[in-house]
Structure 1
Amino acid sequence: MRKWMSLLLAGLITFSITTSPVQAGKPTNPNTGGTPGSWTVGAAPERVDPSKPAILFVHGLNSSANVWYENNDMYEQAYNNGYQTSFINLYDITGTSESMWDNGRLLSGKIREISEHFGKKLIVIAHSKGGVDTQAAIVHYGAAPYVQRVITLGSPHHGSQLADLAYSSWAGWLADLIGSRNPGTASMQTSYMQYFRSQTDGLSSGRGVPFYTLAGNSWSSGSTSHFFGGLYLSSYGDNDGVVTVQSAYVPGGRMIRVGPWNHTSVRTGSHVYSLLAPYLQQAEPAQAFSSESGHERIAPSASVAHDPGSHYIRGGKLHGQATETLVVEDGVASVQLSWISDKPLHSLELTHPDGTVETLQPEMYQDEEIFQGAWHHQVLLNQPAPGAYELTASAPDAAAYLMAAQFHRPQDFKISLKSTGSEIQLQQQDQAHVNNISYDISYFGDPDSLSPQKLSPSISTKNFSANAKPDMSVFNKPGLYSITAEATGVTDKGYPFRRTIVQSVFVDESGRQYGL
């Protein structure tokens, strides 16, 4: 009898746990699983409205499903508003992100499964690269019949210049140690995304799935985790610390709002859910644009002014200590120094042109995006005197690093790389007088390949005069190429200047070039 009562009591307890309603406002976080393609549904609302679509949340690059419910109330907001929800992990959960083709193929099959589970079409809310993966699933892999609409949050629909930087010659040592070179990051290079757009935009209009977007323009808000990315990308326009506003526009889609978010807050419920709410209904929103945002529904022109030639970049290995020389010309208002390494530095010292040694107190944070796992050390030099500076970093163990200096001056030099027919040309504006330029060109092959192949030294590191035009026939086989160009010159007042230009180029199977 006692044994029977014990079993009955245990059964009642078990029944009460599995059937008890979720506490209002606090749904239980799901366990999405740790394998690519694993998905789960969120807690069911107390009253399921059959007229409301179900929501699928898709994460971004180097991320996982838990970004939607850990330190984020997006899931909670959807639950409290009566939505059925679901979450998925893509290949990024393994630690190696994959291209939009692989993620899109995987996602397409799972979208069908999830739609059939709910018995209705899905609204997909996708963050960052997840928006590109979702578009690939819909346009290229047949997921369109199962999706009602897509909302992308800070998605790099035209790539990210941070991905270009990760594949530059100077970033190699650091990238190898922290594993930032992978198919996912490779496919986010601006040249490859230009190719993706050429393969996608002509097909999207026939798929009948509308796209809506949000873009952030406030990388300096909140934590410092997007500080370096925001500064680097500021040369290319307003951005959220990972993606520029211009890149967040999807061709054929509509911008809901450009607002004061960084790359994290743009996917956070308390920041953006109220803006998304009208787009989560069954019916198509009557007004797909907020006049308060002050931005057009279509993407801004690609001719928006930017200055990729405001950086000086170096990198290498650190065996206890490493020193880099920084040349500052006249007229520089400030220099933002970023020392990025695979581990925190012990110290960072700056030797001024007059010999004065200054121990710097940098802001430190760990990267969660393109250079995931790397440590950033940020220092601002205000009104630096012209001359040669030495930046010395010390670490307790061997390390790899990337140093990036961003110059700010009222009339900065405008230097960029452009293609002129079959040649690469350095374009100069304003008062820049470039004496010579060297090009370092690396070949990375297919985006799904992790092993870069350096071009022959006769083509790869070579000096040219300012008006020389290296032949673009160097890009003689399909794949991704990274150009790192070093420009040296002299100002009108006779001070030397140095700049680094990073450019991504993709060549498709037919020999067509993208990115220049």
Structure 2
Amino acid sequence: MKTLGRITVSLLFILLIGLLRDTIQAQPLEQPIPDPVLVEEGGAYSLNGKASNGNDEIPGEWYAGDTPTNLIADAPVLLFVPGLNNVAQIFWEDNDMYQTALEAGYQTAFIQLYDAGGASADMWDNGQLLAEKIEEIAAHFSNKPITIIAYSKGGVDAQTALTYYGAGQYVENVITLSSPHHGSQLADLADSSWAGWLADLIGAQGEGTSAMETGYMAYFRSITDAEPTASAHDYYTIGGTNWGSMFSSTWFGGMYLNSYGDNDGVVTTSSSQLPVGQLLEIGNWNHTTVRSGATFSIFEDVIAGNSLSSLTQNTPIYEEAIEAKGARNQWVTGGELGNGTEEKVPLFMDETIKQTSFQLLTAEPLSRIELTNPSGKTVQVKPKVTENKEGYFINAIDHHFSLADLQVGKWELRLKSAQANAYLLIADYDEKAFVTVSAENLVETSHIPFAVTTDPMYVKPETVKATYYIKESGAAPELVTTYENNTSLSQTIPLQKKNQSYVITTEVEGTTKQGNTFKRTFINSVYRAD
């Protein structure tokens, strides 16, 4: 027993030393550094976009970081470009990216694009502004070459600046951190008919969101990749596969995007790859940590001009990745919540659903959430409630809850708000999908053929009907055109306006083999160019 006691004490001592060592290592090794300083005040740049994102910075302003004591004389200046609804400060506030670059010996600059002024902008407006400021930044640093480090949508803005607005002469190469080069399905969701009421209240229907729809980005890729200047520079891409902490903003996005492939909570890894670029790494980052100093070592060799023989040329794997992942198995609904009134949302659980995860987004807090099962019994709901701090649903309140061992039949979710409100409900069914919706020719066409396919092992085909909700991107939520098809599982959707983006929400419902009602939702975006 004495020997055992000595061993136990020794083990505790070793563990204590280990914990103490980890605590010491976790402390900052350097004193906090001064923030970058404002060099150029913004000019008379008009604000763009259709909704407020809460930012109050001045578009066109840019900042310079401190001069490193260990300056690498022949290194390029690192210009950090923020993403959708972001400001320049995201690279140094609660983020060690700036400090990491400074301590590595690099001069740095940071830019405010239109999104910093309160409303998001598309890649054309942001790209033109960025190009003008790149010329100023280059002159400030005695025309040293610039390497762009672009986060999220900033990567698309950067390529636009170089390809269409003449900024390429000042830039050496471009590194994109989880940029949606093929768009994001979360942008499609934000501009869909069911999300319109919520998006309108929280300011999610800006021009930047519409530009990131997968349909518009398919069009952007079709015209941009053919431009000789699109591949005149070396582009390097980084993507992530982590959704962040449970119930965080990126966790919500990760769950929604899961059926589209690996993702970082906002952008799929396939979308983060650029056809004319080279893949640096797909790593265990979420959409927030991918912009931190944790990725600096991944691209530092590129900045230094070292040869990286292990790099792989990106390929257009976007659609292939979605197809390989499998069919979506979701149901989506949404709408207004009146002040003090109760909204009753029917939920149909068929026999194939064993468990489901719910994401309920609202613009304001709810005063009550109740759920009743098909027997009329109240089921206790204790959602995990968080606020989305960034992304396509910035400022929305997210309520997450799950149900298992579900009773088959019609459930009812009752929502009540003490103020004018709106909601978006997404049900993810963790079971095999038996309904798919396919669409063709999603670029440059006036008519889109849709086809619904069901598995006869689970569904009575004669009971299936499809309803299509067509909404112009950024339009008011009530401006939706509806097509209903009860006789055929194929439908050709006309698109009335040229040079217009649309989001098409397809709701499929019918009866299963066992006679239970099912509903599934599919969301696609398309851009008509001709």
TM-score band, normalised by shorter chain: 0.7 to 0.9
The alignment of Structure 1 onto Structure 2 pairs a total of residues equal to: 471
Q: 1:416 aligns with which of 437, 444, 449?
A: 437
Please tell me whether residue 252 in structure 1 is matched to residue 271 in structure 2: no
Q: Secondary structure at the match of 1:202?
A: coil
| Separation in structure 1 between the aligned mates of residue 230 and residue 279 of structure 2, nearest angstrom | 20
Q: How does 1:158-169 map to 2 (within 5 A)?
A: 158-169=182-193
Find the counterpart in structure 1 of residue 14 from structure 2. none
Structure 1 portions without partners, runs of 5+: 1-22, 291-295, 512-516
The verdict on how the C-alpha distance between 1:47 and 1:325 changes in structure 2, with shifts beyond 3 A counting, is same
Whether the 8 Å CA contact 1:35–1:89 is kept in 2: the answer is yes
Whether the 8 Å CA contact 1:348–1:359 is kept in 2: the answer is no
Whether the 8 Å CA contact 1:365–1:377 is kept in 2: the answer is yes
Q: How does 1:304-383 map to 2 (within 5 A)?
A: 304=321, 305-307=324-326, 309-319=328-338, 320=340, 321-367=342-388, 368-383=390-405
| Range with bigger deviation, 253-262 or 393-402 | 393-402
Find the counterpart in structure 2 of residue 405 from structure 1. 427
Find the counterpart in structure 1 of residue 466 from structure 2. 437
Q: Secondary structure at the match of 2:419?
A: strand
Please tell me whether residue 477 in structure 1 is matched to residue 498 in structure 2: yes
Measured against aligned partners, the alpha-carbon deviations of 1:214-252 in whole angstroms (never above 9, x if no partner) come to 111111447722121111111111111111111101111
Measured against aligned partners, the alpha-carbon deviations of 1:317-367 in whole angstroms (never above 9, x if no partner) come to 112332211101112232111110011223322111222212311111111
The normalised TM-score by structure 1 is: 0.86
Following superposition, the deviation at residue 426 of structure 1 comes to 2.2
| Separation in structure 2 between the aligned mates of residue 287 and residue 365 of structure 1, nearest angstrom | 43
Please tell me whether residue 285 in structure 1 is matched to residue 307 in structure 2: yes
Q: 2:122 is matched by which residue type in structure 1?
A: S
Find the counterpart in structure 2 of residue 138 from structure 1. 162
Q: 1:67 aligns with which of 80, 83, 90?
A: 90
Q: How does 1:202-213 map to 2 (within 5 A)?
A: 202-203=226-227, 207-213=231-237
Whether the 8 Å CA contact 1:230–1:239 is kept in 2: the answer is yes
Whether the 8 Å CA contact 2:231–2:276 is kept in 1: the answer is no
Following superposition, the deviation at residue 467 of structure 1 comes to 2.6
Whether the 8 Å CA contact 1:25–1:80 is kept in 2: the answer is no
Measured against aligned partners, the alpha-carbon deviations of 1:150-197 in whole angstroms (never above 9, x if no partner) come to 111111000001111111111111111111101100000000001110
Following superposition, the deviation at residue 451 of structure 1 comes to 6.0
| Separation in structure 2 between the aligned mates of residue 416 and residue 41 of structure 1, nearest angstrom | 50
Find the counterpart in structure 1 of residue 181 from structure 2. 157
Whether the 8 Å CA contact 1:254–1:288 is kept in 2: the answer is no
Q: 1:382 is matched by which residue type in structure 2?
A: A
Following superposition, the deviation at residue 476 of structure 1 comes to 4.7
Q: Secondary structure at the match of 1:245?
A: coil
Q: How does 1:146-225 map to 2 (within 5 A)?
A: 146-203=170-227, 207-221=231-245, 224-225=248-249
Following superposition, the deviation at residue 275 of structure 1 comes to 1.3
The normalised TM-score by structure 2 is: 0.84
The verdict on how the C-alpha distance between 1:465 and 1:307 changes in structure 2, with shifts beyond 3 A counting, is farther
Whether the 8 Å CA contact 2:265–2:286 is kept in 1: the answer is yes
Find the counterpart in structure 2 of residue 126 from structure 1. 150
| Range with bigger deviation, 28-37 or 394-403 | 28-37
Following superposition, the deviation at residue 206 of structure 1 comes to 6.0
Find the counterpart in structure 2 of residue 488 from structure 1. 509
| Separation in structure 2 between the aligned mates of residue 170 and residue 185 of structure 1, nearest angstrom | 16
Whether the 8 Å CA contact 2:78–2:108 is kept in 1: the answer is yes
| Separation in structure 2 between the aligned mates of residue 49 and residue 391 of structure 1, nearest angstrom | 61
Find the counterpart in structure 1 of residue 524 from structure 2. 503
Whether the 8 Å CA contact 1:216–1:259 is kept in 2: the answer is yes
Q: Secondary structure at the match of 2:148?
A: strand
Q: 2:363 is matched by which residue type in structure 1?
A: D
| Separation in structure 2 between the aligned mates of residue 452 and residue 345 of structure 1, nearest angstrom | 21
Q: Secondary structure at the match of 1:303?
A: helix
The verdict on how the C-alpha distance between 1:466 and 1:401 changes in structure 2, with shifts beyond 3 A counting, is same
Following superposition, the deviation at residue 113 of structure 1 comes to 1.2
Q: 1:61 is matched by which residue type in structure 2?
A: L
Q: 2:479 is matched by which residue type in structure 1?
A: K
| Range with bigger deviation, 52-61 or 317-326 | 317-326
- The percentage of aligned residue pairs carrying the same residue is 38
| Separation in structure 2 between the aligned mates of residue 383 and residue 147 of structure 1, nearest angstrom | 57
| Range with bigger deviation, 70-79 or 31-40 | 31-40
| Range with bigger deviation, 220-229 or 39-48 | 220-229
Measured against aligned partners, the alpha-carbon deviations of 1:382-421 in whole angstroms (never above 9, x if no partner) come to 2322211111122222211111111111x21241131389
| Separation in structure 2 between the aligned mates of residue 223 and residue 363 of structure 1, nearest angstrom | 7
| Separation in structure 1 between the aligned mates of residue 59 and residue 81 of structure 2, nearest angstrom | 12
The verdict on how the C-alpha distance between 1:378 and 1:147 changes in structure 2, with shifts beyond 3 A counting, is same
Measured against aligned partners, the alpha-carbon deviations of 1:441-465 in whole angstroms (never above 9, x if no partner) come to 1224xxxx7668936xxxx223203
Whether the 8 Å CA contact 2:80–2:111 is kept in 1: the answer is yes
Whether the 8 Å CA contact 2:337–2:423 is kept in 1: the answer is yes
Find the counterpart in structure 2 of residue 239 from structure 1. 263
Q: 1:482 is matched by which residue type in structure 2?
A: V
Find the counterpart in structure 2 of residue 426 from structure 1. 451
| Separation in structure 2 between the aligned mates of residue 466 and residue 267 of structure 1, nearest angstrom | 50
Structure 2 portions without partners, runs of 5+: 1-28, 42-56
Whether the 8 Å CA contact 2:159–2:230 is kept in 1: the answer is no
Q: Secondary structure at the match of 1:246?
A: coil
| Range with bigger deviation, 60-69 or 380-389 | 380-389
Q: 2:96 is matched by which residue type in structure 1?
A: D
Find the counterpart in structure 2 of residue 274 from structure 1. 297
Measured against aligned partners, the alpha-carbon deviations of 1:478-503 in whole angstroms (never above 9, x if no partner) come to 30112111110122222221011111
The verdict on how the C-alpha distance between 1:164 and 1:39 changes in structure 2, with shifts beyond 3 A counting, is same
Whether the 8 Å CA contact 2:453–2:489 is kept in 1: the answer is no
Q: How does 1:443-462 map to 2 (within 5 A)?
A: 443-444=472-473, 454=479, 460-462=481-483
Whether the 8 Å CA contact 1:45–1:80 is kept in 2: the answer is yes
Q: 1:303 is matched by which residue type in structure 2?
A: E
